[in-house]
Structure 1
Amino acid sequence: MIKLLLTGVWVAGITLGSVYVSMRHASAPVESSEEQARLAVQEYVPGELITVPVLRDGGVQGYFLTKLSFAVDKTKVKTLPVPLKETVTNALFDILVGKQLINVEDSKSFDLANFKSVVKAGLNEQMKEEVIFEVLVEQLEYLSKADVARVANRESRKQPEPVAIVDRNGNTAHDVIPGAAEKAAAGH
């Protein structure tokens, strides 16, 4: 019995010692010079809430409500011929309506990571250079045409909430711009 107790204390001591040593000698991840250069010019730009129609069978079937924000190259944004907000809105309509990245009937096939990468690639393609480093999806919801009609007619029934789009891995859009809470608290 005493052997078992001493063995347990010995194992616990070795475990605690190894955790302590590994934490003392752990170093921060080394960033490449390319990554450091990208971070030096990176800026987060909040997006706007836009409504994108879902076109099918020759008509509008509903609307996606989406708010995307971006990590951008602040030096390249200043040289764009059209302001970033307008460029992004135009490109998002082309990407979201034209490519039909989200199938409402089969939301299980939706992949949020693929959505972000396709939007990033499409935006950079439209701007003809890599201006967008990262796409943050803050909101991505769907309202059917019937839901919109009920809201427009102000029916007495309880108004439906937009349905959050869930990807095949169970992820929903809830990205947050780094530092946004601190800026809001500081009054910027």
Structure 2
Amino acid sequence: MLKLVFVGVWVCAVTLGSVYYSMQQASAPVVSDADAERKALQEYVPGELITVPVITDGAVQGYFLTKLSFAVDKNKIKTLHVPLKESVTSALYDILVGQRLINVADTSNFDLANFKTKVKEGLNKDFEDEIIFEVLVEQLEYLSKADVARLANAPNEPKQRPVAIIDKNGNTAQDELPGKEAAAH
């Protein structure tokens, strides 16, 4: 019985010592002046769900469902002539339909980081200024034309969920806006 008490005290001492040591070694992340200035100018703008048709051989084959949010320069966004949401919709049509960054038949070559970069660069090019700092992809899914028809014609069938698009690195689009989890509590 005495051995068990000594083992318990020993485990507690080692645990407390390791926690104390790790807290002493932990340091706050170093933030450069440029990063601090950018964070002060930054504001997160939630996006809305956008449906973009996938057109192949002159016919609609399915639909991308996407919801993007953005880290923007809060001073520059006030000077825009076209609202951000409308500009984003136009850019997404150009990127998803015109540039065909996502091949629905073979998503193994899809690169989520490249997609975010292309959207950011495309929007900043349209705005002729660096207004978008970061693109957050909250949802990027695909529904085939057959899925849409089945959902529309069969209300008693179990609902099918859209297929999440997974990039070549195995990442799915599940970014969350900073501060969103704090608002949920």
Aligned to 2:163: 163
Aligned to 1:5: none
Kindly provide the CA deviation profile for residues 94-141 of structure 1, in whole angstroms up to 9, marking residues without a partner as x: 122111111111111111111111111111111111111111110111
Q: Aligned equivalents of 1:25 and 1:50: distance in 2?
A: 46
Cα displacement (A) at 1:159: 2.9
**What SS does structure 2 have at the residue aligned with 1:105?**
coil
Q: How many equivalent pairs are there? A: 174
1:159–1:18 Cα change, 3 Å = closer
**What SS does structure 2 have at the residue aligned with 1:125?**
helix
Aligned to 1:132: 132
Percent identical among aligned pairs is 68
Aligned to 2:27: 27
Aligned to 2:10: none
**What SS does structure 1 have at the residue aligned with 2:101?**
coil
Q: Do the aligned partners of 1:124 and 1:130 also contact (CA within 8 Å) in 2?
A: yes
Q: Does 1:106 align with 2:117?
A: no
Q: Which moved more, 1:138-147 or 1:91-100?
A: 91-100
Q: Does 1:37 align with 2:37?
A: yes
Kindly provide the CA deviation profile for residues 77-97 of structure 1, in whole angstroms up to 9, marking residues without a partner as x: 000001111111111111221
Cα displacement (A) at 1:169: 1.4
Q: Does 1:81 align with 2:81?
A: yes
Cα displacement (A) at 1:26: 4.0
Aligned to 1:68: 68
**What SS does structure 2 have at the residue aligned with 1:78?**
helix
Gaps of 5+ in 2: 1-13
2:88 partner letter = V
Q: Aligned equivalents of 2:27 and 2:139: distance in 1?
A: 36
Kindly provide the CA deviation profile for residues 153-176 of structure 1, in whole angstroms up to 9, marking residues without a partner as x: 235433321101111111111110
1:25–1:181 Cα change, 3 Å = closer
Q: Do the aligned partners of 1:92 and 1:123 also contact (CA within 8 Å) in 2?
A: no
Q: Aligned equivalents of 2:20 and 2:104: distance in 1?
A: 50
Cα displacement (A) at 1:23: 4.1
Aligned to 2:121: 121
Q: Aligned equivalents of 2:159 and 2:55: distance in 1?
A: 23
Aligned to 1:96: 96
TM-score if structure 1 supplies the norm length?
Answer: 0.83
Cα displacement (A) at 1:60: 0.9
**What SS does structure 2 have at the residue aligned with 1:108?**
helix
1:154–1:18 Cα change, 3 Å = closer
Q: Aligned equivalents of 1:25 and 1:165: distance in 2?
A: 40
Gaps of 5+ in 1: 1-12
Aligned to 2:11: none
**What SS does structure 1 have at the residue aligned with 2:105?**
helix
Q: Do the aligned partners of 1:46 and 1:70 also contact (CA within 8 Å) in 2?
A: yes
Cα displacement (A) at 1:21: 5.2
| Structure 1 vs Structure 2 CA RMSD | 2.3
